[in-house]
Amino acid sequence: MTMDALAALCDRIASAAARTRKLNLLADYLRTLDDGDLARAVRFLSGSPLPDGRKLSVGAATLRAAAASATGWDLELIRFCSRVAGDSAEIIALLMAGRSAGLPLSLSGAEQHLLALAAERSKARKQKLIEQWLLAYAPLTLKYLLKTLTGMLRIGLQAKLVEEAIARASAQPLELVRAASNRSGDLAEVALAARHQTLDRIQARLFHPLDFMLAKPLESMPDGVLDSGPWWVEDKYDGIRCQLHAAHGKVRLFTRGQEDVTASYPDLTVPLSAIHPPLILDGELLVWRDGAPQSFNALQQRLARKRLTPALLAECPVAFIAYDLLYAGQTLLLNEPLERRRALLESLPLQPPIHIAPQRRLASPQELDALFEAARARRNEGLLLKRAGSLYEAGRRGGAWIKVKRALATLDVVITAAEQGRGRRATMLSDYTFAVRDGSRFLNIGKAYSGLTDEEIRQLTRLLKSLATERFGRVVLVRPEVVLEVAFDGIQKSPRHKSGFAMRFPRILRWRKDKPPEEIDTLDRVREIYVASL
DNA sequence: TATGTCTGCCCC
DNA sequence: ATTCTGC
DNA sequence: GCAGAATGGGCAGACATA
């Protein structure tokens, strides 16, 4: 089977609106593949094309550079076209029509190309490899070969639907496929096992990450959900979600994206090599100093470090706050109720740098406000509510865990610039840069797109075009007249914007047609919020 | 060698 | 991360 | 209610340029 056929399938899936139609198309296709291609196709479609999750380190920018080099076209022009089309891979594929040789490409050939790209360390040589593909393969094939690089197929189908298609193609119950997928962590393995009716033989393995159970955000505080039964409460820590595997002196730390980051945190993992009985902990990685959790910003300085200096380890030492136990005593505990997992967790002889997250029973929903404030006073993000008796639903964002966060504040700001969107928003100005007032000047403080409906974005696009003063490629500067109310979860000093501040998780609450720009919030107000948040 | 900009992403 | 949208 | 898509910020590291 060929990459060309897979590409054609992707196009058909993209143009099918109904998810059941997408599923049927994929299931029918999967049935036609031999075992080797089944594994490859599943990896390609689920967004992790390489067998062991190796990194490609190639993004849209590199693709455009390769395309410019292969065609002789101006890079700026390609950038512009990509922007209009909303997708670099698509436009590059079109560009190669009539220029590439149109050679056939098998799935295993495509996989070999990706492996070669991952193995190549030099950025320039990565680009050279891509140039060679561009000249060799047909546009449609290129389109999806390139899309797999950036990990965004944008055909309305990702890993979860691939799971469903596997279930359908093999006539196995979806729940069995999902459970096996969690135990395995490798959808290709699952597809093969489903085909051969051996899903039950897939075992969870220590030192292979399980999926994480996620929490659903609580929309409004006084919500009826909490009346449904007893709940447990913990602080929500502002670190990185991690799974810690330990057994027989070996320790591994995995992130939510299943990345093995053990090597980056010797100050956590080396002391744990004394642990012998096998266990898997779920919890949060934090910088921990003077007996207290430090900011997420401190932790960020430990991320993706190639070299760990003693100074860094001394300045930003990490700890692990454990709040769940997924494996112990040779047993997977996912289907044990929360209270049992918790009791086992508390019975373990864990020592710093591992801590156990304090947990208490929520007496009544009225208690939430006070608990929330207390958590914030401890410099934590908010609360995590866990339904009594709930099981560990790996890979799901079900209602059994609820996270309670609140915006730090809101600001009334004015739009100073707008940017063309991507994908289905490619024809609209969907991305707004906004400013606060400082005397008679407007100083940018952030960008946001979310919070407006598609209809509002359409209206705003029209209005902003009429307010345009200058255009720099994809960015339109506008007269500062449109006022928005934006919410955000944090604020910090940043060179990113003229105001000297930037927001964490900015989102638009509403379009304030009632407010003139002279009355928006000021830089002084921003400083007040900043100081108060320290 | 020092500094500035771009890129992709163990992250949130 | 957040938010909206189609199914 | 789920899954997908489109978008925020900061960071280290890589590369470009002085």
Residue A206 counted as domain residue: no
Q: Are residues A330 and A446 in the same domain?
A: no
Q: In which residue are the tokens 């991305």 written?
A: A431
Residue A209 counted as domain residue: no
Final residue in a domain of this structure, among A350, A371, A405: A405
CATH code of A338's domain: 3.30.470.30
Q: What is the pLDDT of residue A24?
A: 96
* Cβ-based burial of A383 (10 A; exposed 0-12, middle 13-18, buried ≥19): buried
Count Cβ atoms below 10 Å from residue A411 Cβ, excluding itself. Answer: 23
Q: What is the pLDDT of residue A353?
A: 95
Q: What is the pLDDT of residue A475?
A: 84
Q: Are residues A390 and A365 in the same domain?
A: yes
Nearest in space to A381 (alpha carbons), one of A474, A490, A305, A278? A490
Give the C-alpha separation, A218 to A220, whole Å. Answer: 6
Contact A319, A286 (CB under 8 A): yes
Is the pLDDT score of A515 beyond 90?
yes
Residue A401 counted as domain residue: yes
Nearest in space to A141 (alpha carbons), one of A88, A86, A85, A100? A100
Q: Are residues A193 and A225 in the same domain?
A: no
Cα dist. A349→A256, A272, A282, A362 in Å? 25, 11, 16, 27
Q: Are residues A401 and A266 in the same domain?
A: yes
- Mapping DSSP to helix (H, G, I), strand (E, B) and coil, where does residue A290 land? coil
Contact A176, A123 (CB under 8 A): no
Q: Are residues A8 and A57 in the same domain?
A: yes
Q: What is the pLDDT of residue A150?
A: 84
Is the pLDDT score of A48 beyond 80?
yes
CATH code of A427's domain: 2.40.50.140
- Residue with CA nearest C1' of nucleotide D1: A398
Is the pLDDT score of A65 beyond 80?
yes
> What's the whole-number mean pLDDT along residues A137-165?
93
Tens-place pLDDT, residues A167-199: 999 999 999 999 999 999 999 999 999 999 999
CATH code of A9's domain: 1.10.3260.10
- For residue A346, the enclosing domain spans 214-405
Residue A266 counted as domain residue: yes
Give the C-alpha separation, A332 to A336, whole Å. Answer: 9
Final residue in a domain of this structure, among A375, A405, A435: A405
Residue A440 counted as domain residue: yes
Q: Is the pTM of this model over 0.85?
A: yes
Q: Indicate the average pLDDT of chain A.
A: 93
Q: Are residues A526 and A445 in the same domain?
A: yes
Contact A85, A424 (CB under 8 A): no
Give the pLDDT band (50/70/90) at residue A220: low
Report if CB A155 to strand D is under 7 Å. Answer: yes
Report if CB A21 to strand C is under 7 Å. Answer: no
Residue A307 counted as domain residue: yes
Å between CA of A65 and C1' of D17:
19
- Contacts of A169-177 with C-beta under 8 Å, sequence gap 24+, read A169/A26, A169/A27, A169/A28, A169/A30, A169/A31, A169/A194, A169/A195, A170/A194, A170/A195, A170/A197, A172/A197, A172/A199, A176/A200
Final residue in a domain of this structure, among A150, A177, A193: A150
Q: What is the pLDDT of residue A219?
A: 64
Q: Is A513 a catalytic residue?
A: no
Give the C-alpha separation, A24 to A11, whole Å. Answer: 14
Higher pLDDT, A134 or A86: A134
Rounded to 5°, the CA angle A166-A169-A170 comes to 85
Report if CB A447 to strand D is under 7 Å. Answer: yes
Is the pLDDT score of A83 beyond 90?
no
Q: Structure tokens of A484?
A: 């928005």
The rounded percent of chain A whose pLDDT value lies above 90 is 80
Å between CA of A67 and C1' of C5:
33
Q: What is the pLDDT of residue A222?
A: 52
Measuring from the CA of residue A455 to each C1' atom, give the nucleotide at the shortest distance.
C4
Number of domains, chain A: 4
Q: What is the pLDDT of residue A449?
A: 85
Tens-place pLDDT, residues A313-332: 999 999 999 999 999 989 99
> What's the whole-number mean pLDDT along residues A393-418?
93
Give the C-alpha separation, A124 to A132, whole Å. Answer: 13
Nearest in space to A358 (alpha carbons), one of A329, A323, A395? A323
Strand D: which residues 163-222 of A lie within 7 A (CB)?
216
Give the pLDDT band (50/70/90) at residue A511: very high
| Bridge-based pairing state of the strands A382-387 and A401-404 | antiparallel
Residue A208 counted as domain residue: no
Give the pLDDT band (50/70/90) at residue A303: very high
Q: Which nucleotides of strand D are protein-proximal, with an atom < 7 A from a CB? A: 1-15
Question: CB neighbours of A375 closer than 8 A, spacing ≥ 6?
Answer: A235, A236, A381, A382, A383
> What's the whole-number mean pLDDT along residues A90-103?
92
Å between CA of A451 and C1' of D6:
12
Which DSSP state fits A369? H
Q: Are residues A110 and A192 in the same domain?
A: no
Q: Are residues A395 and A415 in the same domain?
A: no
> What's the whole-number mean pLDDT along residues A115-125?
90
> What's the whole-number mean pLDDT along residues A272-292?
94
Is the pLDDT score of A228 beyond 90?
no
Residue A207 counted as domain residue: no
Q: What is the pLDDT of residue A427?
A: 86
Contact A416, A437 (CB under 8 A): no
Measuring from the CA of residue A501 to each C1' atom, give the nucleotide at the shortest distance.
D9
Q: Are residues A136 and A255 in the same domain?
A: no
Q: Are residues A382 and A261 in the same domain?
A: yes
> What's the whole-number mean pLDDT along residues A123-145?
95
Q: Are residues A426 and A378 in the same domain?
A: no
SS3 of A447-478: the string is: EECCCCCHHHHHHHHHHHHHHEEEEECCEEEE
Q: How many CA atoms lie within 13 A of A118 on its CB side?
A: 18
Cα dist. A84→A31, A149, A429 in Å? 37, 20, 11
Question: Residue A522 corresponds to which amino acid?
Answer: T
Q: Are residues A368 and A427 in the same domain?
A: no
> What's the whole-number mean pLDDT along residues A56-62?
88
Count Cβ atoms below 10 Å from residue A20 Cβ, excluding itself. Answer: 10
Question: Residue A481 corresponds to which amino acid?
Answer: E
